Amino acid sequence: MLKNLRHEIYLVFGSLFFAISSIPAKLAMESGLSAFRLTQIRTMGAFLVLFLYVYLKNKNSLRINRKELPIFIAFGLFGFAAVNLFYFLAIQRLNVGVALIIEFTAPIWIVLWMRFIQKKIVSKLMWWGLVTGLTGLVLIAQVWRGLTLDGLGVTFALLDAFALALYFLVGEKLVGVKSSEATMAWGFGVSSAFFAIIQPWWTFPFEELGRVVELTGRLAGISIPTYYLILWIIVLGTAVPYFLVLNGLRGLSAATSSSIGMLEPVFGGIFAWIFLYEKLNFIQSVGAVVVLIGIYLANRARISV
């Protein structure tokens, strides 16, 4: 019992750190750093931290054979490069809470994939989850008033949800291949290599890291260098929460883990409201709750397959 509680606490704090990192990420982009460059430096920084940790712990776990290489490349490109990039692009145009809620509709798309692509039989719970989740999205967007959310921001958030779904699907195949830490190190490594190819490091605008950022919202009046925000994102927004989540997943069922994971969009919305004064109106708030219920039902349906 106490062991399960410890793992649950790991996951709760992992969600907490992931969520609060949205604030420095949004502030860093408002200072002039692009979503592409922010993703590049985040994945590289996290790769260096995780690689060093895994190498010192068990360097042999980093070895892979040629047959495993394609799936690790797909995992790194979709699970890390795409998930991080589309999320940063989304929060540039949407409230943090809305972007996270749309991103976490991934379980709904996973169950649809299982039903129509893999031809698996799924429970009625899946359809309830799908209808509930989409109803919530309609309420958040308030489509009867025209599209009240930024269209491009919603597109990026949906692409992020699809990328997150691929992350889960590919990640499940890698569970029995490598340790979680080695898998994460490889994922961040592939993502780092991808961005280094399309955006060589010698073209990185390092001068922007020293730029002083005027914080907004509740933190208005405070000025800090951009590199403080980047260090937060790499250490407390990536390495620490991934470590917490990985340790939490080891001792819990998939149902419990997925349920606790839904705390991230909740925490994200709360932090954005506290620090950035971002808020939803009453109908959008109801929609957010409805989406979370739909995600929970879809998760349950996925686990029961």
CA angle, corner 45, sides to 250 and 258, nearest 5? 30
Domain limits for position 48? 2-304
For residue 174, the model assigns a pLDDT of 77
Count of C-beta atoms within a 10 Å radius of residue 296: 19
For residue 22, the model assigns a pLDDT of 93
CA angle, corner 277, sides to 225 and 271, nearest 5? 75
Chunked into runs of 10 residues, the chain (305 residues) has average pLDDT values of: 75 91 92 94 94 91 89 91 96 91 85 81 81 87 70 94 87 73 90 96 93 83 91 92 78 64 85 88 89 84 65
Domains in the chain: how many in total? 1
Residues with Cβ within 8 Å of residue 234, at least 6 apart in sequence: 41, 42, 45, 46, 49
- Of 172, 186, 196, the closest CA to residue 55 belongs to 186
- CA dist 301 and 161 (Å) reads 18
Beta-bridge partners for 212:
225
Beta-bridge partners for 144:
146
For residue 171, the model assigns a pLDDT of 78
- CA dist 121 and 237 (Å) reads 38
Which one-letter amino acid corresponds to residue 168? F
